[in-house]
């Protein structure tokens, strides 16, 4: 009962702040609001009893990635938004179309009776450290290693681009 | 969970909050007195017996001062930044166990606010979030020195967080759990089961990283007075400045408590079985925890007046080229030895 109430409050906050991220004119405000969204998301994870995922959400997205984003936005000192030269009517039409499809899908799912969206799915151990660790190092070992190589490539690429003369 | 459990949790939350604030006040007094002692001065000794009420006088002064908001600042973020720093600083203590368990009226009460299975990660998450307060304070002040201070501080926090996390990984490998209670209980028994003896390298890396994380000398480049006026809080006055101050001290207290928990057995008294002594054991373990934490808080002040400040490139070199490889090496060694033993 209390949890359901909390779920509705937090999801409203999540959606609201996520919308504000997009609608806001100031890039720094958008970044801060996005951090707020991540916090709300992590509370949603907590409600699903996925404590590990909740903390990872904060450590990785709020604690690492968004800090770097904020750095870039602040140092470029993005001032007044640049008005786009012409109204992109084509893109607008496409985005409107996609939006309608998306919300139709979401509402169809909702109507079909997924009522307990905020309940833990199946076993409670899904979001736990042990379960995730075991899954990563047995079932998903190959994709996991591929992802690490991908990150390494990105890292080397960054160093190469930033420091041509080493 | 019934009503009484709920009330117990509320009491613990209030108690820990009050204790942290009291410790902040005590730490401010201790810092001034011990600094004075090291410099062969007297220090504040007029307000109350031995100057003990000095922090209260300081606090009152902060409240009475005029609250100036410079015209050029970005107002919403400028007002938000102190809170964004203080809230995580006060939240972090929640997972640290400060004693074994009490038994009152047939109810077992563990001396810890939240016994969660990812305690270590919780602390790491909150320390990484603390950066926002500093960055935003520096940026929203719309002034050169705060911006420089904010940037320095956040670069430093991000760099040293890595080594700190990796040093903790070695402990987690040995315990096999991210729960702080398990880490404490695995260090019980005799003195040499404390992780400081089993993991000396990890302890050294962790200690250095903690000094950088809390912006203390010799790593206080974020507020290097000679270069940056005051760093990220230059433009702040009155109670907002005090909030930065409190956050800094609260962070130090939590960091000291976290060091004790990870490496010095937490509330453990060596060669003593606290559980067998019942409530007296809980009380003694609480006192042991406070004494150990107080020692590390004293170490902060001692180090402050012993080492000069690092230059910025030295700081970054130390973080990335010395501490990070050493921390990685330590994980490999620990992992290797654990594999051989098992």
Q: How far apart are CA B211 and CA B301, in angstroms?
A: 11
Q: Which residues of A touch B133 (CB under 8 A)?
A: none
Q: How many residues does chain A have?
A: 166
A125 to chain B nearest CA, in Å?
Answer: 12
Q: How far apart are CA B194 and CA B178, in angstroms?
A: 17
A57 to chain B nearest CA, in Å?
Answer: 9
Range of the domain at A152: 134-166
Tell me the ipTM for this assembly: 0.81
Per residue, the 3-state secondary structure of B167-198, as one string, reads HHHHHHHHHCCCCHHHHHHCCCCCHHHCHHHH
- Asked if A52 and B118 come within 8 Å (Cβ–Cβ), the reply is yes
Q: Positive or negative CA dihedral for B34, B210, B313, B321? A: positive
C-alpha closest to that of B242 among B58, B9, B41: B58
- Asked if A70 and B135 come within 8 Å (Cβ–Cβ), the reply is yes
| Alpha helical stretches, state H, B143-263 | 144-175, 180-185, 195-198, 200-213, 225-228, 238-263
Q: Which residues of A touch B121 (CB under 8 A)?
A: 52, 55-56, 59
> Within this chain, do residues A138 and A77 fall inside the same structural domain, yes or no?
no
Residue A27 in domain: yes
Q: Are A139 and A145 in contact (CB under 8 A)?
A: no
Which residues have a Cβ under 8 Å from the Cβ of A126 and sit 6 or more positions away?
A50, A120
Q: What is the model's pLDDT at position B228?
A: 74
- Asked if A59 and B124 come within 8 Å (Cβ–Cβ), the reply is yes
Give every residue of chain B whose pLDDT is below 50, as ranges: none
Q: What is the model's pLDDT at position B159?
A: 84
Q: Which residues of A touch B128 (CB under 8 A)?
A: 58-59, 62-64, 67
β-strand pairing of B107-110 with B101-104: antiparallel
Locate tokens 């150990």: which residue?
B292
CATH number at A53 reads 1.20.120.1200
Q: Which residues of A touch B173 (CB under 8 A)?
A: none
Angle between helix B144-175 and helix A66-76 axes, rounded to 10 deg = 170
Q: What is the model's pLDDT at position A149?
A: 94
pTM across the whole model:
0.85
Per residue, the 3-state secondary structure of B283-309, as one string, reads HHHHHHHHHHHHHHHHHHHHHHCCCCC
Sorting pLDDT into bands at 50, 70 and 90, what band is A122? low
Residue A104 has pLDDT above 70, yes or no: yes
- Mutation pick from A42, A66, A74 vs chain B, by most beta carbons of B within 10 Å, is A74
Any B CB within 8 A of A154 CB: no
Residue A71 in domain: yes
* Among the partner residues A55, A62, A67, nearest to B135 by beta-carbon distance: A67
- Per the structure, the count of domains in chain A is 2
CB contacts < 8 A (A, B): 57
Using left for φ > 0, alpha for ψ between -120 and 50, and beta otherwise, residue B124 falls in alpha
- Asked if B154 and A71 come within 8 Å (Cβ–Cβ), the reply is yes
Q: Are B273 and B233 in contact (CB under 8 A)?
A: no
Quote the DSSP letter at residue B311: P
Q: How far apart are CA B182 and CA B195, in angstroms?
A: 13
Q: Which residue has the higher pLDDT, B215 or A119?
A: B215
Those of residues 47-76 in A touching chain B at CB distance below 8 A are 51-52, 55-56, 58-59, 62-64, 67, 70-71, 74
Q: What is the model's pLDDT at position B206?
A: 92
* Among the partner residues B118, B126, B147, nearest to A51 by beta-carbon distance: B118
Q: What is the model's pLDDT at position A148?
A: 92
Q: What is the model's pLDDT at position B295?
A: 92
Q: What is the model's pLDDT at position A85?
A: 57
Q: How far apart are CA B323 and CA B143, in angstroms?
A: 33
- Specify burial of residue B164 (Cβ count, 10 A radius: 0-12, 13-18, 19+): buried
- Asked if B131 and A63 come within 8 Å (Cβ–Cβ), the reply is yes
Per residue, the 3-state secondary structure of A77-90, as one string, reads CCCCCCCCCCCCHH
- Asked if B151 and A71 come within 8 Å (Cβ–Cβ), the reply is yes
> Within this chain, do residues A71 and A139 fall inside the same structural domain, yes or no?
no
pLDDT digits (tens, 9 = 90+) for A19-32: 998 888 778 888 88
Sorting pLDDT into bands at 50, 70 and 90, what band is A106? confident
Q: Positive or negative CA dihedral for A78, A79, A84, A85? A: negative
Which residues have a Cβ under 8 Å from the Cβ of A91 and sit 6 or more positions away?
none
A27 to chain B nearest CA, in Å?
Answer: 13
pLDDT digits (tens, 9 = 90+) for A55-97: 888 888 888 888 888 888 877 765 555 555 566 677 778 888 8
Q: Which residues of B touch A58 (CB under 8 A)?
A: 125-126, 128-129
What are the phi and psi torsion angles at B108 (to 5°)?
-85, 125
- Specify burial of residue A63 (Cβ count, 10 A radius: 0-12, 13-18, 19+): buried
Q: Are B129 and B121 in contact (CB under 8 A)?
A: no
Instruction: Report how far apart, in Å, the C-alpha atoms of B175 and of each of A19, A39, B139, B192, B332 are.
Output: 43, 29, 41, 15, 16
> Within this chain, do residues A76 and A141 fall inside the same structural domain, yes or no?
no
Q: Are B262 and B171 in contact (CB under 8 A)?
A: yes
Sorting pLDDT into bands at 50, 70 and 90, what band is A114? low
> Within this chain, do residues A77 and A138 fall inside the same structural domain, yes or no?
no
Using left for φ > 0, alpha for ψ between -120 and 50, and beta otherwise, residue B281 falls in alpha
A92 to chain B nearest CA, in Å?
Answer: 32
A12 to chain B nearest CA, in Å?
Answer: 22
Q: How far apart are CA A113 and CA A6, in angstroms?
A: 20
Residue A117 in domain: no
Question: Kind and range of the H or E element at B110?
Answer: strand B107-110
- B103 pairs with which residues across the strands? B108
């Amino acid at each position: 009962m209390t949890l359901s109430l909390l779920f509705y409050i937090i999801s409203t906050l999540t959606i609201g702040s996520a919308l504000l991220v997009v609608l806001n004119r100031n890039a720094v405000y958008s970044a801060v609001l996005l951090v707020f969204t991540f916090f709300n998301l992590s509370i949603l994870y907590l409600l699903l009893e996925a404590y590990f995922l909740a903390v990872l959400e904060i450590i990785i997205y709020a604690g690492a990635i968004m800090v770097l984003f904020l750095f870039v936005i602040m140092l470029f000192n993005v001032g007044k938004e640049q008005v786009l030269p012409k109204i992109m009517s084509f893109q607008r039409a496409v985005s409107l179309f996609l939006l309608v499809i998306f919300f139709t899908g979401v509402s169809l799912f909702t109507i079909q009776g997924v009522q307990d969206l905020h309940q833990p799915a199946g076993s409670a151990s899904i979001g736990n450290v042990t379960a995730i660790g075991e899954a990563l190092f047995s079932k998903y070992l190959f994709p996991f290693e591929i992802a690490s190589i991908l990150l390494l490539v990105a890292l080397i690429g960054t160093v190469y681009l930033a420091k041509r003369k080493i | 969970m019934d009503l009484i459990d709920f009330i117990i949790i509320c009491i613990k939350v209030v108690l820990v909050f009050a204790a942290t604030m009291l410790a902040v006040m005590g730490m401010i007094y201790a810092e001034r007195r011990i600094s004075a002692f090291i410099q062969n001065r007297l220090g504040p000794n007029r307000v109350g017996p031995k100057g003990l009420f000095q922090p209260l006088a300081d606090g009152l002064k902060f409240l009475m001062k005029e609250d100036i908001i410079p015209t050029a600042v970005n107002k919403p973020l400028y007002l938000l930044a102190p809170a964004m720093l203080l809230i995580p600083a006060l939240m972090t203590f929640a997972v640290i166990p400060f004693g074994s368990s009490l038994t009152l009226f047939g109810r077992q009460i563990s001396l810890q606010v939240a016994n969660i299975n990812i305690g270590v990660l919780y602390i790491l998450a909150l320390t990484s979030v603390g950066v926002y307060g500093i960055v935003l304070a520096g940026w929203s002040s719309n002034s050169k020195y705060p911006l420089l201070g904010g940037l320095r501080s956040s670069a430093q926090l991000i760099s040293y967080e890595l080594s700190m996390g990796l040093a903790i990984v070695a402990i987690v490998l040995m315990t096999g759990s991210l729960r702080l209670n398990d880490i404490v209980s695995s260090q019980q028994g005799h003195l040499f089961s404390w992780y400081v003896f089993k993991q000396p390298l990890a302890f050294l890396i962790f200690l250095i990283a903690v000094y950088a994380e809390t912006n203390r000398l010799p790593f206080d480049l974020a507020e290097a007075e000679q270069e940056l006026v005051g760093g990220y809080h230059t433009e702040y006055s009155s109670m907002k400045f005090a909030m930065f101050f409190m956050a800094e001290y609260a962070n130090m207290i939590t960091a000291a408590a976290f060091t004790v928990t990870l490496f010095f057995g937490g509330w453990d008294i060596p060669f003593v079985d606290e559980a067998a002594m019942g409530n007296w054991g809980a009380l003694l373990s609480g006192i042991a925890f406070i004494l150990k934490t107080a020692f590390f808080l004293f170490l902060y002040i001692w180090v402050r007046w012993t080492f000069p400040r690092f230059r910025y490139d030295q700081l970054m070199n130390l973080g990335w080229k010395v501490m990070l490889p050493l921390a990685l090496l330590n994980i490999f060694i620990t992992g290797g030895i654990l594999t051989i033993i098992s």
